Structure 1
Amino acid sequence: MKLPVNAGVMLIAAAILAGPVRAQETDDGWDLATDPATDSVSASVSYASGASIIVLCRAGTLLTGISGTPLSRDSSRRALLTRGDDFSTEGQWDRSADGRLGLSNAPMTARFLRLGGSVTLQSIDGDPAPFNVAFALPASGAVVDQVLTACDQPLTREHDRATDVSDLLLQGLAIEMPATAAPRTGGVQAISLTCLIAGGRLTGCVSESQQPPNPEGGAATARRANGERARFSNEAAAEGGRVEIVVTGARIRR
């Protein structure tokens, strides 16, 4: 389960695609845009078909948006991104408030796009309205790297190539959120974790996003999650895979 996409970030992404603020043409095909007023930096690329891709960091929140595809037709939809080298990543995309964009707040998506080359965006098996869209991404991802770095995100992560086995995870997994993860201004803290599975336990857990942003609390929650026993509907299939979970208060939601 992913954190809900922040509405303010949605608006910034839509505005940049409509007309980038302080946009600079770059040699590698991605356009760089910055806006100090909103603490934003973005990389975007547009296609003759009318489709556009944007990777945006705003005030510590990372977001990837794609316009001109079926991703913007439904409020929420899962889709698969695949490269020519068979590297793929499946994730949830949410429709922006204005209906123009499909949005992902998974840092893995941005890291996938930075690799460049031929990419296919397609519906997952069982989708009632299947689709398949191909993109030729710029060969260099240097501008996307700037956006990831602005949001303190690594350019590579071993978790990215592990199979997502979140759907095999059974209910009942709970973790006590450390006191350091409590929101500084009150309200509810939600922390997204990605963990690998080894010997039926969570390992190598990392937190790449939190709402509100709280990197220290995310890291503390990830450390606490390591070693927790996880139960799956198929233990053998889950071994060596990754799970994506959200900790809210003292309990994990899938």
Structure 2
Amino acid sequence: MKRALTALTLVLAAGSAVAQDAPPTGEDWDLVKDARKKSTIAYVTTTTGLSIATRCMDSGYSALIFGLPEVTRRTKTRPLQITFRDEEASEWRWNVTTDRAGAVADFPAPFARELRQGGRLQIVVPDGAGEGRNLRYDLELPASGSAIDETLTACDRPLVDPRDQELEAIGEDGLQVGMRWDRQIRPRYPSQSRYLEGFAVTTCVAQPDGTLRDCVIETEHPGDGRFGEAVLKAARDATVAYDGDQPTAPRMMAFRVNFIMQ
């Protein structure tokens, strides 16, 4: 599954370099809590220079990687090919932070639930070793018996979610085979937002009648921009349609909405 979704944009007026990591020591990831910032962070730093973290901050959940090859300031997102243990490789889209060597996951909770198991993690960065040359990180991470769990729990994210398995069936357009938008989601720009742009990545369960239920904001940025709130409100009026026979069971879908004020 390619966890890189085609964005719905809302506008208003090959060589390979290999980095091998030695297994980090310790029984669990490091854990830092800050009651003042309402944050709980689990992190691990590898010998390759990469730092990986999961974080709950003021009810917003995120997964972050720092120490990647820097990208230009115009780059908003970057794909990373990720392989957990002996699973198949998947392409995940990550959002570039103000630190051009950092990135934030579109689907942080599913990523964190994979990380908590520990084991081998391979990350391929397209063009990371120069144009046309991919960079591969080959890491061995410790399992997290409690630290990552604490970040998930702090943001009311389940430790095990069967919906993660359904993500595999979702295409780049955010829909499963045989699905299409009937009434596309059209959120309004948050009137009280002080930001000129932002985004929200959302998963929903599409009912057999085409309505959307159980929508979850997987990640949004900025966290206090109210973009996720705008998407959830608009999702009440959005519907999907099905090609061929109408399904008898709900189906997962996911989509990203980019907000840009012009």
Structure 1 length as normaliser, TM-score? Answer: 0.64
Shift of 1:183: 5.3
Q: Per the alignment, in what secondary structure is the counterpart of residue 38 of structure 1?
A: coil
Q: Per the alignment, in what secondary structure is the counterpart of residue 151 of structure 2?
A: helix
Given the alignment of the two structures, is residue 133 of structure 1 paired with residue 134 of structure 2, yes or no? no
Query: Would the aligned equivalents of 2:115 and 2:143 in 1 still touch at CA under 8 Å?
Result: no
The structure-2 alpha-carbon separation of the partners of 1:105 and 1:191, relative to structure 1 and needing over 3 Å to count, comes to closer
The structure-2 alpha-carbon separation of the partners of 1:115 and 1:59, relative to structure 1 and needing over 3 Å to count, comes to same
Matched ranges for 1:220-231 at <5 A: 225=238, 228-230=239-241
Q: Which residue of 2 aligns with 1:160?
A: 164
Q: 2: CA distance between counterparts of 1:182 and 1:167?
A: 22
Query: Would the aligned equivalents of 2:6 and 2:172 in 1 still touch at CA under 8 Å?
Result: no
Q: Which residue of 2 aligns with 1:16?
A: none
Q: 2: CA distance between counterparts of 1:124 and 1:195?
A: 30
Q: Percent identity?
A: 26
Specify which structure has the higher proportion of strand: 2
AA aligned to 2:62 is L
AA aligned to 1:243 is A
Q: How many residue pairs get matched?
A: 214
- Map Cα deviations across residues 79-133 of structure 1 (whole Å, 9 max, x no partner): 12222241655322233323332222522222222222111112479x9442321
Q: 2: CA distance between counterparts of 1:155 and 1:48?
A: 28
AA aligned to 1:73 is V
AA aligned to 1:115 is Q
Shift of 1:145: 0.9
AA aligned to 1:154 is P
Matched ranges for 1:66-145 at <5 A: 66-70=65-69, 72-73=70-71, 75=75, 76-86=77-87, 89-107=90-108, 108-123=110-125, 128-145=132-149
Query: Would the aligned equivalents of 2:126 and 2:132 in 1 still touch at CA under 8 Å?
Result: no
Query: Would the aligned equivalents of 2:199 and 2:256 in 1 still touch at CA under 8 Å?
Result: no
Q: Which residue of 2 aligns with 1:151?
A: 155
Specify which structure has the higher proportion of helix: 1
Q: Per the alignment, in what secondary structure is the counterpart of residue 149 of structure 1?
A: helix
Q: Which residue of 2 aligns with 1:193?
A: 202
Q: Which of 237, 243, 250 is matched with 2:254 structurally?
A: 243
AA aligned to 1:152 is D
Shift of 1:167: 3.3
Q: Which residue of 1 aligns with 2:12?
A: none
AA aligned to 1:122 is V
The structure-2 alpha-carbon separation of the partners of 1:78 and 1:172, relative to structure 1 and needing over 3 Å to count, comes to farther
- Map Cα deviations across residues 181-218 of structure 1 (whole Å, 9 max, x no partner): 99594568965321456879576653134554768776
The structure-2 alpha-carbon separation of the partners of 1:182 and 1:69, relative to structure 1 and needing over 3 Å to count, comes to closer
The structure-2 alpha-carbon separation of the partners of 1:168 and 1:212, relative to structure 1 and needing over 3 Å to count, comes to closer
- Backbone CA RMSD of aligned residues: 4.1
The structure-2 alpha-carbon separation of the partners of 1:217 and 1:96, relative to structure 1 and needing over 3 Å to count, comes to closer
Query: Would the aligned equivalents of 1:2 and 1:92 in 2 still touch at CA under 8 Å?
Result: no
Query: Would the aligned equivalents of 1:35 and 1:41 in 2 still touch at CA under 8 Å?
Result: yes
Query: Would the aligned equivalents of 2:205 and 2:215 in 1 still touch at CA under 8 Å?
Result: no
The structure-2 alpha-carbon separation of the partners of 1:135 and 1:212, relative to structure 1 and needing over 3 Å to count, comes to same
Q: Per the alignment, in what secondary structure is the counterpart of residue 240 of structure 2?
A: coil
Q: 1: CA distance between counterparts of 2:201 and 2:251?
A: 20
The structure-2 alpha-carbon separation of the partners of 1:240 and 1:219, relative to structure 1 and needing over 3 Å to count, comes to closer
Query: Would the aligned equivalents of 1:207 and 1:218 in 2 still touch at CA under 8 Å?
Result: no
Q: Which residue of 2 aligns with 1:175?
A: 185
The structure-2 alpha-carbon separation of the partners of 1:222 and 1:159, relative to structure 1 and needing over 3 Å to count, comes to farther
Shift of 1:144: 0.5
- Map Cα deviations across residues 122-175 of structure 1 (whole Å, 9 max, x no partner): 2479x9442321221212342111011112222222232232313376777513
